[in-house]
Chain A
Amino acid sequence: MSQATTTGAAGTTTTGRVRRSRAGATGTARSQSDRPLRLLATELLAGIGPLLVLMLLWQVVYLTLPENQFLRGPLEAVEFAVSGENVGELAAALLSTFTMLLAGYLIAVLVALTLASVVTASAAMARAIMPLAVVLGVVPVIVITPVVIMLVGRGPATSITVCVMITFFSCFISIVSGMRSAARGIDDLAAVLGGSGWRRLVSVRLPSSVPGLISASKLALPASLSGVILTEYIATGEGIGTFINLARANYRYVDMWGGIFVVVLLSVLAYSLLGFLEVWLGDRYVVRRSSR
C-alpha cells in the first residue's frame, strides 16, 4: 500500500503500473483507464456471458417441460424481439420506461448533490438533515408505491417520483461519504490556501464524490427499474410493465417472454455500462491516501 502510494506520487510514468495493480485487486481487467474501449468490452462481455448461461438454462427447462402451456423458448423470444408483429409497440413501451428511469435518475442525482454539498459544508445542517435522511432511507419505497400513486396521481410523474425516491437515498449517502472521506486533508489545505467555499466544493468535494455516486447508481438500478415497471403496471398504463401484463392477459405468451427478455437484456447492459464507468472514473477520481 505505502509502496504503491510512493510510486504514484513520484511521477506520471509509474502511475500506469499503480493503476494496473489496483485494478488487479478489484479484479476486472488488465489495463484500465488507459484503454477505456477495451475495458468497456470486458464489462459488457462480463454481463452478456452470464445472460447466455441463463438463456441456456431457460432452453433446457423449455425442452424438459413440453406440456407447460405458458412457457416459450428463448429462440422464440429473441425472434419476436427482432421481427415480431408487435415489435413497434415493444420499442415504444421500452422508450417510455427508460425515459422515466433516466429522468428519475437525473433528478435524484441533482437533489442528492445539492443536499450533500449543504450537509458537508455545515455541521449544524448535517445534524438536521442526516437523521431525517436516514429515517426516510429505511422506508421501503416499493412497498409504499400505492401511497405515492395516491399523492402524485396516475401520470408519468408517479413513475419518476418512485424512481427518484429509490435512487436518491443511496446516492445521497454515497456522495456524503465520498465528499467527507477523501476531502478531509485536501479540503483543509484548500481552506488554508484561501480557497472559497464554492471553489472547495467544485474542486475538492465534488470530484471525490464521483466514484461513490456511480457505484450507488449502479446498485440502485435494478430496484429503480423495478419501481418504474411497478408504477406502470398498477397506475400509469404505459411502458414495458403494461406491455408485459397486457400480453399475459391476452394470452400472447411469445410477446410476454420477448418483452421480459428485452427488458432484462437492457437492464444488464445498463448495469454493465455503469460498471465500466465505475472502474474507469474510479481510477481517475479516486484520491490515494498515504495511510489507512
Chain B
Amino acid sequence: MSASEVTAARPGLPLAGLGRRAGWWVVRYGPAALVLAAFVLLWNWYAGVAPGEGRLLPTPAQVVTALGDDWNIIQPALLVTLGSAGRGLAYGAAVAAAFAVLAVAVPPLRRPIARQLTIVFCLPLAAIAPLLFLVLELPGPHVALAAISVVFPIYISLAQGLTARHEEWEDLRAVTGGGRGRYFCSVQIPASTRELLVAARIALPTAVLGTTLAEYFGGARGIGVLMINSLAQLNAPRAYALGIVITLVCALSFALVELVARALPWTEELTR
C-alpha cells in the first residue's frame, strides 16, 4: 500500500538526482516528523501551564532526567519483571504448544480446544489477579498472569500454522510412504515458522503486560510495584520514565521479531 503511494509521489516532484531523493524523504516522513514535533511541543507547553506544578504532568526534559537519575532503581526492577514475564511466557508457550500438537494429532478436537482457550482469553485479567495472590506464593501470580495472557494468541497462531494443508507434500508422502511423525517434523513444523513469528510478536509484549498488571496487585519488586509507588508519592517524572521504559521494551521485542523474520526469507509476508 505505502509502496504504491511512494512510487506515485516520486515522478510528481520537480527535483532531480540527489535532490529528488531528499524530496522523497521530505514527502514521505515530513508530515510524521511535523506531527511528532508538534506533539512534543504541545506536551512541553501544557506541562508548563497545567495545574499541579509538574507533579501530575512533567515536561519531557524532566522525564528524560528522571530516566537517567533513577536508572539504578529502574534497571533491577526491569530485570525482575522481565524474569517473571520470561518464565510465564515459557509456561504459556509450553501449554499452547501441547494443545497445538493435540489439535494436529486429533483433528476433531481442534474446535473444542479453540473454544476452550477462547474462554481463557475472555477472562478479565484484572478480575482474576486477586485470586492468584490468594492461591500462589509470591512470584507465582506474576508468572501465572503472564502465562495465562499468552496461551490463547500462541495457540491460535501455532494451530493455524501446523494444521495448514500442503497438498504437494501430502502427495509426496503418500508416494514415498513417510510416517506421520516424520511428516510433522519435516513439513508441518518448518512450514509454520511464519505463524511462530506472528505468535512471538504478539506474545512477547503481552507477557510483559501480564506480569506488570499482576505487580499492581502486590509484590516486592518489579516495574509495576515501582509504578504504583510513584503514583502514591506523586513522583510523576519517574512514572512517565517507567512508562517509556516499558514502551521501549515492547518496541524492542517487535524489532527483534522483525529482525528474525528478515533473517528467514520465506517468512517475508510477515514484514510486508
Contact = CB atoms under 8 A, between A and B. Distances in A.
Interface of A: 27, 46-47, 49-51, 53-54, 68, 70-71, 123-132, 135, 138-140, 142-147, 149-151, 180, 221-222, 225-227, 229-230, 233-234, 240-241, 244-245, 248, 256, 259-260, 263-264, 267-268, 271
Given A70-B134, A127-B31, A146-B231, A268 B124 contact: no
Contacts of A71: 135
24 contacts: A50-B112, A50-B119, A123-B5, A124-B31, A127-B28, A127-B29, A131-B29, A138-B251, A138-B254, A140-B205, A140-B209, A140-B247, A143-B208, A149-B231, A225-B124, A226-B126, A230-B126, A230-B213, A234-B216, A234-B228, A263-B124, A264-B123, A268-B122, A271-B118
Given A146-B227, A240-B127, 8 more contacts: A27-B111, A50-B118, A124-B31, A127-B31, A140-B212, A143-B224, A149-B231, A233-B217
A124 B116 CA distance: 45
B121 A132 contact: no
A252 B154 CA distance: 36
A51 B111 CA distance: 15
B247 A146 contact: no
Contacts of B35: 128-129, 131-132
B62 interface: no
Contacts of B228: 146, 234
Contacts of A125: 31
Nearest to A227: B126
Interface stretch (B101-109, B171-179, B233-241, B262-270): B233-241
Top 10 A-B residue pairs of the complex, sorted by shortest distance between their CB atoms: A128-B31, A131-B32, A229-B126, A146-B231, A144-B243, A70-B134, A230-B126, A226-B126, A225-B124, A50-B119
Interface residues of B, number: 56
Contacts of A142: 209, 212-213
A244 B124 CA distance: 13
A229 B31 CA distance: 37
A143 B205 CA distance: 11
B131 interface: yes
Nearest to A245: B130
Given A234-B228, A260-B131, A271 B212 contact: no
B187 interface: no
B169 interface: no
A271 B123 CA distance: 11
Contacts of B205: 140
B32 A127 contact: yes
B122 A147 contact: no
Contacts of B115: 46, 49-50
A149 to B, nearest CB: 6
Interface residues of B, dominant DSSP:
helix
B231 A226 contact: no
B208 A150 contact: no
The secondary-structure label for the interface of chain A is helix
Q: Which of the listed residues A71, A143, A226, A230 has the most CB atoms from chain B within 10 Å of its own CB?
A: A143
A51 B119 contact: yes
B128 interface: yes
B123 A222 contact: yes
Given A51-B119, A127-B28, A264 B126 contact: no
B234 A260 contact: no
A144 B243 CA distance: 5
Contact of A143 (B126, B131, B227): B227
B208 A140 contact: yes
Nearest to A48: B119
Interface in B153-174: none
Contacts of A229: 124, 126-127
A161 B130 CA distance: 23
B125 interface: yes
Contacts of A135: 36
Nearest to A221: B122
Nearest to B8: A123
Contacts of B220: none
Nearest to A70: B134
Given A129-B35, A150-B236, A151-B56, A248 B1 contact: no
A224 B269 CA distance: 30
Contacts of B9: 123
A145 B125 CA distance: 15
B96 interface: no
Contacts of B212: 140, 142-143
Contacts of A149: 231
Contacts of B185: none
